[in-house]
Structure 1
Amino acid sequence: MGAWHQSLFGCFSNFDVAFYGFLVCQPCTLGSMIAFHYQENFSFLHFLLGLIAPWSLMLRSDIRLRESIPGSACDDCIKTVCCYPCSFCQVTKQYADRGCKFFPISLA
């Protein structure tokens, strides 16, 4: 069974993911994860998709299922809606550890 690489509130212990991944350019970071998920190169379309919040929930659920992390769709939804910044940073860290390259910054 898998596990998250950082806790939900672990964003406070990882400055790069919290600051650059969420505060500086959240659409760039989310767009990079979408491109990585579909094995595509980052483009302006991915940036535009990064502006749409439901993608974050979809990516959270997908990585939880792929890595056999305990939880449910309801759990993903609650964490994404009620604590979006921390949930986003948790998912970003998981994608960074899988080799996702973030445009235009590097979180690896």
Structure 2
Amino acid sequence: MATKIVIQQPQPLMYEMESTEWSTGICDCCEDIESCCLAFWCGPCFACKTVHEYGECLCLPLLDMFGFIPPIALTMRVVTRQRYGIKDTICHDCLYACCCYACSWCQVSREIKMRAKPVVLTHALPNVNAGNYNA
């Protein structure tokens, strides 16, 4: 008589621990020099690139040219905070969007990059032989 043996290996568990804070400060431009330079020398191009990386229309930041509080820069800060559960205030978002335009875009860009990095498990063996085996 054949006995059916089921072998199931324990799977690695991984808990995602998201911070409720920005991963970098508003003036931490040295964290990503390339982005900082692009934001400083060509802000509209950098804003378009960041919005595109977020998954929105590439030309959306061009609307920022028509108001005192740049609507797209403000919106991107708020939406990024909501997506990643970052606690901050709309007042800070307005202040940074108006007074620190390039730094604000850099911070949002860094956040998107840092939170989008794939998680790599170490010391995890591939599950090549998973399944049912007949003895």
TM-superposed CA distance for 1:13, in Å, is 4.3
Q: Structure 2 stretches of 5 or more lacking a match?
A: 1-18, 65-70, 118-135
Number of matched residues?
93
Q: CA RMSD in A?
A: 2.4
Deviations 1:1-24 (A, max 9, x none): 42212111101443112012x034
TM-score (norm 1): 0.69
Using structure 2 for the length normalisation, give the TM-score. Answer: 0.57
Structure 1 residue 6 corresponds to structure 2 residue 24: yes
50-59 vs 25-34, which deviates more?
Answer: 25-34
Higher strand share: 2
Q: Write the distance in 2 (CA, Å) between the matches of 1:99 and 1:28.
A: 21
1:70 partner SS: coil
Aligned ranges for residues 45-56 of structure 1 at < 5 Å? 46=58, 48-53=59-64, 54-56=71-73
What is the identity percentage for the equivalent residue pairs of Structure 1 and Structure 2? Answer: 28
Q: Is the 8 A contact 2:35 2:46 kept in 1?
A: no
CA contact (8 A) 2:43 2:102 kept: no
- Structure 2 partner of 1:71: 88
Give structure 1 regions of 4+ aligned residues with deviation exceeding 3 angstroms. Answer: none
